[in-house]
Amino acid sequence: MKLNWGTSIAIIYTVFAATMVGFVIKSRSFDHALVVDDYYAKDLAYQSQYDKLTNSRNLTNDLTISKTGENVQLAFPKEFSRLEGEILFYRADDKSKDFTLKIAPDGQGEQLVPSGTLTPGRWTVKVDWQGDGKAFFKEEVIIL
């Protein structure tokens, strides 16, 4: 049986429409949540973030973030007497796993975070901290 041009066009449009419906159904199954809830406000306040990054680059001994054994170690510069701020452990693929800690270094200027409770994979550690009245920021990716 030979198809005429009208039947061929109808088949092509039907296949196209079915494909589009399939794509819409598939796309509705994904979570399209924003990475952060208030990213517009964070974007507007980026100059302060840039100033923190500049302050961090000007340090002689910068904050170091590393994985040591069963812990994530944060070694703050010893030149600061008073440290405060927070540490965000950010997981790009699952927002529900993100968590924040207060900075509480020991007498050596180090803070250990147990990595046994963290899900293996890629984590971004964002440290927003103040030392002796100046604000600093450090971001580093670690793989657990």
Q: The tokens 């002796």 sit on which residue?
A: 132
> Of 34 and 39, which is predicted with more confidence?
39
Which two structure tokens, joined as six digits, stand for 100? 């924040």
- pTM, to two decimals: 0.69
CA dist list (Å): 32 to 37, 90, 103, 114: 12, 17, 32, 31
CA distance 135 to 11: 64
What integer best gives the mean pLDDT of the chain? 86
**Would you state the pLDDT for residue 34?**
58
Local confidence band at 87 (pLDDT 50, 70, 90 cut-offs): very high
Residues 92-112 pLDDT 10s = 887 788 889 999 888 888 888
Residue 47 pLDDT > 90: no
CA distance 55 to 60: 10
Q: State the CB neighbour count (10 A cutoff) for residue 4.
A: 7
**Would you state the pLDDT for residue 9?**
94
Top CATH class, 39-143: mainly beta
The one-letter code for the residue type at 80 is: F
Residue 70 pLDDT > 90: no
Q: Which phi and psi angles does 134 have, rounded to 5°?
A: -105, 145
Residue 30 pLDDT > 80: no
CA distance 63 to 10: 65
The one-letter code for the residue type at 79 is: E
> Of 114 and 36, which is predicted with more confidence?
114
Return the domain boundaries, the chain: 1-30, 39-143
